[in-house]
């Protein structure tokens, strides 16, 4: 049996050489790119070195300066024109083509050798997560490094009980696709009242409160399906707390960092027993 303090020291010795990958995933417009920028600012301000990777071939002006960028390897506009594709087809083709450059892209990240790697994932989540290329890109990039996904639930949708369950279901499905430890972020909390935020946080902590809220706010098939889905998620451990964050007002970033640390230091048993 290794004493706890020695165990922690050993763990940090191991972690010292590792990079921590954070993949920001969520539906279109859920706030991935702005949170990438805000998280980078916060980490840099806390003297933690950060590499920002843009994985969205179609983005024009992200709200950060990327250190490593998929657009250096694939030209979305050219692919669209050359193959006569629409925006979604061109994104799919761009991601497929990016796979052959993934070692170079990873090499850039490794050469920078920073602690945190923030990866802003493509806007059309379904074209990234529900094709083979997305999970392949994620696993090729991370290799044996420590990685997690941040799944963003947009406050616009998650403010109603049925919207919250639907967002959680989608997030759970993303968790299945990438197979990484995952944190759930309630993004754009600034558009909600404090009471609404508190209520949503409670739904994640006590699922019976969410079921009560569904019962009283939804009707017909929406209520029936949402309650069944909630119970299924509950059985699978898929109803977890959400972390309210506003990338715009820079609120909630510190608690988010605390959760990142908890996972990266083995709080979710991702390293197995020492
Ligand atoms: N009020 C508010 N708006 C936000 C916040 N974060 C992002 N937004 C706004 O939401 C919109 C989408 O933000 P992005 O960061 O581009 O979202 P995204 O998920 O990267 O979008 P795609 O990559 O296009 O899918 C922009 O108008 C942002 O200004 C936030 O914390 N609060
Ligand atoms: Mg974006």
CA 154 to chain centre: 12
Closest-approaching ligand to the CA atom of 63: 1
Probe ligand 1: pick from 31, 91, 246, max atoms within 8 Å of CB? Answer: 31
Angle between helices 220-235 and 207-217 (to 10 degrees): 170
Q: Contact, 188 vs 157, CB < 8 A? A: no
Q: Answer positive or negative: Cα dihedral of 178, 180, 186, 188.
A: negative
Distance, CA of 34 to CA of 62 (rounded, Å): 8
**Pairing mode, strands 68-69 and 146-154:** unpaired
CATH number for the region 22-147 comes to: 3.40.50.300
CA-closest residue to ligand 1 atom 30: 188
CB of 32 shorter than 6 A to ligand 1: yes
Distance, CA of 73 to CA of 69 (rounded, Å): 8
CB of 248 shorter than 6 A to ligand 1: yes
Distance, CA of 57 to CA of 122 (rounded, Å): 7
Contacts of 191 (CB under 8 A, 6+ apart): 155, 156
- Supply the pTM of this predicted model: 0.92
Q: Contact, 166 vs 227, CB < 8 A? A: no
SS3 state of residue 30? coil
> pLDDT truncated to tens, each residue of the chain (274 aa)?
555 555 555 555 555 567 899 999 999 999 999 999 999 999 999 999 999 999 999 999 999 999 999 999 999 999 999 999 999 999 999 999 999 999 999 999 999 999 999 999 998 898 999 999 999 999 999 998 899 999 999 999 999 999 999 999 999 999 999 999 999 999 999 999 999 999 999 999 999 999 999 999 989 999 999 999 999 999 988 788 999 999 999 999 999 999 999 988 875 544 433 3
Distance, CA of 243 to CA of 125 (rounded, Å): 20
């Amino acid at each position: 049996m290794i004493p706890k303090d020695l165990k922690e020291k050993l763990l940090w010795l191991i972690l010292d050489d590792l990079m921590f990958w954070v993949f920001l995933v969520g539906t279109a417009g859920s706030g991935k790119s702005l949170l990438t920028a805000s998280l980078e600012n916060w980490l840099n301000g806390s003297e933690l070195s950060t590499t920002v990777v843009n994985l969205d071939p179609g983005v024009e002006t992200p709200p950060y300066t990327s250190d490593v960028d998929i657009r250096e390897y694939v030209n979305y506009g050219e692919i669209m024109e050359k193959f006569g594709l629409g925006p979604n087809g061109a994104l799919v083709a761009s991601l497929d083509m990016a796979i052959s450059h993934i070692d170079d892209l990873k090499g850039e990240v490794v050469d920078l050798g920073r602690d945190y790697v923030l990866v802003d994932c493509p806007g059309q989540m379904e074209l990234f997560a529900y094709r083979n290329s997305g999970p392949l890109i994620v696993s090729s990039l991370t290799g044996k490094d420590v990685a997690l996904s941040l799944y963003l639930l947009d406050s616009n949708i998650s403010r109603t009980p049925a919207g919250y369950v639907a967002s959680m279901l989608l997030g759970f499905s993303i968790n299945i696709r990438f197979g990484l430890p995952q944190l759930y972020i309630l993004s754009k909390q600034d558009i909600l009242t404090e009471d609404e935020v508190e209520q949503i946080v409670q739904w994640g902590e006590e699922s019976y409160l969410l079921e009560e809220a569904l019962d009283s706010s939804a009707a017909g098939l929406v209520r029936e399906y949402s309650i069944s889905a909630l119970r299924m998620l509950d059985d699978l451990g898929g109803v977890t707390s959400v972390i309210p964050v506003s990338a715009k007002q820079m609120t909630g970033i510190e608690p988010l960092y605390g959760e990142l640390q908890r996972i990266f230091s083995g709080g979710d048993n991702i390293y197995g027993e020492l």
